[in-house]
Chains A and B, each alone.
Chain A
């Protein structure tokens, strides 16, 4: 873990939900966008620069404001009034204008029925 995942993460990783790495990854995964295109797409949607996307000091405020989730750290980074997990993915789907499977599934299984 230390020599592989952590080393890659510190050497070259965007930072996941600590920054905007998960959002850029979503555009790669869902739309097959190459990295520069995915970074530009996400930066434009958020109204930040591509450089900001890997900067936790910028992205924490952006993520909190838009309800995109972040690290929890025992409530010290984001708290219960902030979106996390599936709650945040509703906002992410809306922001990036892509369908997120778990969000669609949630809507499907919670839809009112038998009426």
Chain B
């Protein structure tokens, strides 16, 4: 008779499972990831290590001493206590973040463009007191360029009408606008002293969104050879809202983390952040196993540092506004141990 162990579901809720049930979930998660992303399964040693992490009833789990990684944070602070410079300062001083990132509460490059002089001023203040690398982040957010928020016909309205060519042309036009805006903001923030620019949640609007990010990165890299460039993905694979877009001869729709990383590195990033979504109805053990299986080919082949997204609802961390520390710590440790990550 096995004793049930307290563990978590992907929505954060506490459940009890036996070690056999947890192991079965881990094996099922590995199989689901391998099948979905068409990649190799984790090996028996790796599966055994995950079973060890998740079959412990301890309140917390952590990597071995010496195996620590760097932690980057997209969008530091909640902006409801003190100032944004305070947010960055306490991330550095109290949370001991290895790098910090300032952001505007309307987290997209298009709205930032109109207030960029204010963003520059705050960044200049931040750079005088922050010691750790301090960057600026926002989303490419291609949907912002469609009517009524932008000048371009909404492809999400054109597609259901079967107006495919017009929908594709609209997305291509939006890419050019987004690249201009992202570069404009990056250039302004570089002038204010940033250490890196972060294109976060890239690909959220599909393959055209990812293309905009890649083209912007290429342009930023050409203009600023020493500037850090970080990209964080929106989800595990690139949606084909356009379907025919390519970068460097590679079709973007349907790319998984390995393919995304290769193109991001080619464009000029210095840090790549894959994102794998959480299934709230499955256990955290299942989700972590699936995440690691999907990302392993990416970290194995990486030519740039890989910082796995490990926030609410991605990377095995439960989709709850207050993720339980027992679940986050297990997801964190498992990702570092199995993927040999460069950071999170």
Chain A residues close to B by CB (< 8 Å): 1-19, 21-22, 24-26, 28-35, 38, 50-51, 54, 68-73, 84-86, 88-89, 92, 98-102, 105
Beyond A4-B328, A25-B98, A101-B227, whether A11 also contacts B60 by CB under 8 A is yes
The SS class assigned to the B binding surface is loop
24 CB contacts below 8 A, A to B, read A4-B317, A5-B95, A7-B323, A10-B62, A12-B62, A12-B68, A12-B336, A13-B71, A17-B93, A17-B96, A17-B132, A22-B131, A28-B70, A28-B342, A29-B196, A30-B195, A34-B305, A35-B70, A35-B305, A38-B70, A38-B305, A69-B131, A85-B130, A101-B194
Interchain CA distance A97-B204 in the complex, whole Å = 37
Beyond A8-B332, A26-B133, whether A14 also contacts B226 by CB under 8 A is no
- What is the distance, in angstroms, from B7's C-beta to the closest C-beta of chain A? 15
A3 / chain B contacts, CB cutoff of 8 Å:
322-325, 328
Q: Is the CB of B98 within 8 A of A13?
A: yes
Contact pattern, B 185-199, Cβ under 8 Å of A = 1, otherwise 0 = 000001111111000
Beyond A4-B311, A17-B132, A34-B305, whether A11 also contacts B73 by CB under 8 A is no
Using CB atoms, name the residue of chain B closest to A72: B93
Q: How many residues of B contact A (CB 8 A)?
A: 68
B302 / chain A contacts, CB cutoff of 8 Å:
34
Q: Count A/B pairs, Cβ under 8 Å.
A: 199
Using CB atoms, name the residue of chain B closest to A89: B131
B127 / chain A contacts, CB cutoff of 8 Å:
86, 101-102, 105
Q: Which chain B residues numbered 164 to 216 have a C-beta less than 8 Å away from chain A?
A: 190-196
Interchain CA distance A71-B70 in the complex, whole Å = 17
| Interface-centre pick from A3, A12, A84, A105 (highest chain B CB count, 10 A) | A12
B328 / chain A contacts, CB cutoff of 8 Å:
3-4, 7-8, 11
Beyond A3-B325, A71-B93, whether A14 also contacts B333 by CB under 8 A is no
Select A22's contact among B69, B98, B227, B329, beta carbons within 8 Å. Answer: B98
Q: Is the CB of A12 within 8 A of B63?
A: yes
Q: Is the CB of A14 within 8 A of B69?
A: yes
- What is the distance, in angstroms, from A55's C-beta to the closest C-beta of chain B? 8
Contact pattern, B 313-336, Cβ under 8 Å of A = 1, otherwise 0 = 000010000111100110011011
The SS class assigned to the A binding surface is helix
B333 / chain A contacts, CB cutoff of 8 Å:
11-12
Q: Is the CB of A54 within 8 A of B98?
A: no
Q: Is the CB of A8 within 8 A of B71?
A: yes
Beyond A3-B325, A29-B99, A101-B193, whether A17 also contacts B131 by CB under 8 A is yes
Q: Is the CB of B332 within 8 A of A12?
A: yes
Q: Is the CB of A24 within 8 A of B98?
A: yes
Other A-B pairs, 9, CB within 8 Å; known A4-B328, A17-B96: A12-B63, A12-B68, A12-B335, A29-B195, A35-B69, A35-B341, A38-B342, A101-B227, A102-B195
Using CB atoms, name the residue of chain B closest to A18: B96
Q: Is the CB of A33 within 8 A of B71?
A: no
Interchain CA distance A16-B98 in the complex, whole Å = 4
Interchain CA distance A11-B344 in the complex, whole Å = 11
Q: Is the CB of B95 within 8 A of A32?
A: no
B143 / chain A contacts, CB cutoff of 8 Å:
none
Q: Which chain B residues numbered 108 to 148 have a C-beta less than 8 Å away from chain A?
A: 127-135
Q: Which chain B residues numbered 257 to 302 have a C-beta less than 8 Å away from chain A?
A: 269-271, 302
Q: Is the CB of B73 within 8 A of A5?
A: yes
Using CB atoms, name the residue of chain B closest to A35: B342
A5 / chain B contacts, CB cutoff of 8 Å:
73, 91, 95, 97
Using CB atoms, name the residue of chain A closest to B93: A71
Q: Is the CB of A86 within 8 A of B61?
A: no
